[in-house]
Amino acid sequence: MSTVPVPPSSQTPYRWRWLILVVMLVAEIMDLLDASIVNVAGPALERSLGATSVGLQWVIGGYALTLGAGLVLGGRLGDRYGRRRMFLIGLGAFTAASLLCAIAPDIEILITVRLVQGAAGAMLLPQGLGLLRENFTGAELTKVFGIFGPVLGLGGIVGPVLGGGLIQGDFFGLGWRLVFLVNVPIGLVALAVAVKFVPRKASDRAVVVDGTGAALVALSCGLLVLPLNQGQDAGWPLWTWLCMAASVAGFALFAVQQRRTAAQGREPLVTPALLRKPAFTVGLGGIALFFGGLVGVQLVLTLFLQIGQRFTAGEAGLGNLPLALGTAIGGAVSGAVLADRIGRAVLQIGPLVQLGGAALLWYELGHIGGTFSLWDVAPGVVVCGIGAGLVIAALFSFILAAVDDDEIGSASGVLSAVQSIGGSIGVAVFGSVFFARAKSGDFTAGFHHALLVQGCLLVAFLAITVLLPKKGRPEEFTAPADGVRESTGA
């Protein structure tokens, strides 16, 4: 009978530690793929399940919503019950939810299972970096995170391309269902490897999980995203505004409850001292603004290509490559040159470049001739991507510079949660803005309106950056921080 390996001693490296890295990368890439791979499935879902624009927004944004709402809770559950156990539970649930998504008979069930899938991801992802830190040390740990970043960046880029290829290929007549089925064999293999080779480490049952705080976060997130998704279609009745007001009150109550929990000597979900740091709380707003705009515009680009210009799913997936290329260029320049030399100014140059790209894209959209080609908008999309890459490569580092060393784990988990929730809000807002004009057939106007919204978000983000620290946190502190997720805006 096989036994679970014991963790390595401080002197002897664990023999199978590199397999752990492979499993962690697979889990992270599955998450990144599921965050973006569905973007190109809109028309296919409409034909197959009768999905409306609101339904599509829930399928795409609902995953990010429950993922973000549960990330910090997932990390605390790993502390209490053991990272290995929570990783296996999360990976198994994620794989099962992927299968249920693939066989969903209607859009309501698909949305429900996508919410479950996001919650499973929230249990799975926070354990990965912690497991790596438990099994790698010193120079090897640096090498691990050197591998981690580029591979995850590639995962975010591949999502729409792979999704488009699977849908257009229509292998075995499964169409969009393959977008979810692709996770099943990968997840099962990763689960088998993890069961055999991820070593067990004693959990800390003294850790008390703050269920009240977790419930407040989940409820407040739901009260915010629900009206943003449904409001446009419903004509913005009173209940939508009441929900958003209740959401704001819920987040305020969460902050109070966290301080009270800490004052009573119990473990809060979020270190209360973080919420008293102006630069950190401002940074949370910046994360939400930036990633909400980035994810929203990427969705609108895909919708414009598929619905407005009749691109196939495969062509629409490839249509995301100029944005990915620009993001990679901007990230390389920011990480290798600008962030260290000019400090916080890189976070101000980035949105200015994005605004320039949005202006160029606006002009290009207004001069589309009788036959449309991706080359008609590629320059503007690339410039937008370069600006985004400048910010993505440096943003977390500058926000984390405002926190103490012992707060990095909690802070980075909160930042990652806000990143996901911001993306969900972006899907709701930009989807509603685009479909409001697309229903009348004016797809260019829908894209123009989305660019206006992004411009407003970028201006607000630009104003916030002056309140962030002038220098980023040293790389040796930020790279291993639990909870930080690479993103290309997917």
Contact 114, 58 (CB under 8 A): yes
Does any domain span residue 55?
A: yes
Q: Which token pair is 236?
A: 């913005």
Closest Cα partner for 488 from 405, 403, 386?
Answer: 386
Written in H, E and C, the secondary structure of 432-478 is: HHHHHHHCCCCHHHHHHHHHHHHHHHHHHHHHHHCCCCCCCCCHHHH
Asked if 456 and 433 sit in the same domain, the reply is yes
Residues 174 and 216 in one domain: no
- Tokens read off for 306: 């598929």
Number of helices (H), then strands (E), belonging to the chain: the values are 20, 0
| Statement to judge: residues 42 and 25 lie in one domain | yes
The CA distance from 134 to 147, in Å, is 17
Whether residues 50 and 71 fall in one domain: yes
Q: What percent of the chain has pLDDT over 70?
A: 90
pLDDT-derived band at 152 (thresholds 50, 70, 90) equals low
**Average pLDDT value for residue range 265-286:** 87
Cα–Cα distances in Å, from 333 out to 152, 330, 394, 477? 18, 5, 11, 21
* 8 Å CB contact between 101 and 114: yes
In a domain, 204, yes or no: no
The answer, yes or no, to whether residue 76 has pLDDT greater than 70, is: yes
How far is the C-alpha of 180 from the C-alpha of 488, rounded, in Å? 21
For residue 435, is pLDDT > 60? yes
Q: Give the span between the Cα atoms of 415 and 418, in whole angstroms.
A: 5
Top-confidence residue, 158 or 122: 122
Give the Å distances, CA to CA, from 35 to 40, 65, 145, 280, 335. 11, 11, 22, 26, 24
* pLDDT for residue 118 is more than 70: yes
Predicted confidence at residue 6, as pLDDT, reads 52
In a 13 Å sphere around the CA of 445, the CA atoms on its Cβ side amount to 8
User: Do 52 and 110 lie in a common domain?
Assistant: yes
Q: Which of 151, 170, 199 is at the close of a domain?
A: 199
Neighbours of 133 (CB within 10 A): 17
Residues 257 and 277 in one domain: no
User: Residues 283-313: pLDDT tens digits?
Assistant: 999 999 999 999 999 899 989 998 888 888 8
For the chain, how many structural domains are there in total?
Answer: 3
Distance between CA 234 and CA 237 in Å, rounded?
A: 7
7-58: pLDDT as tens digits: 554 557 777 788 888 888 888 888 877 777 788 888 888 888 888 888 889 9
Any domain includes 252? yes
Chain mean pLDDT for the chain: 84
Whether 412 maps to a domain, the answer reads yes
Residues 279 and 221 in one domain: no
Q: Does 420 share its domain with 472?
A: yes
In this structure, the answer to whether residues 374 and 488 fall within a common structural domain is: yes
Residues 182, 37 share a domain:
yes
Predicted confidence at residue 187, as pLDDT, reads 92
The phi, psi pair for 62, rounded to 5°, reads -65, -35
pLDDT above 70: residue 471 = yes
DSSP 8-state symbol, 170: T
Tell me the mean pLDDT in the region 363-372.
Answer: 84
Q: What is the pTM of this model?
A: 0.86
Same domain, 390 and 472: yes
Host domain of residue 248? 210-266
Same domain for 286 and 394, yes or no, is yes
Rounded Cα–Cα distance for residues 79 and 61 (Å): 28
pLDDT value of position 11: 57
Least Cα distance to 107 among 169, 62, 172 occurs for 62
**Would the pLDDT of 380 be above 80?**
yes
Q: What is the pLDDT of residue 425?
A: 93
Residue 450 CA, chain-centre distance (Å), reads: 20
Give percent of the chain with pLDDT exceeding 90.
35
The reply to whether 205 falls in a domain is no
In a domain, 397, yes or no: yes
CATH of the domain at 292: 1.20.1250.20
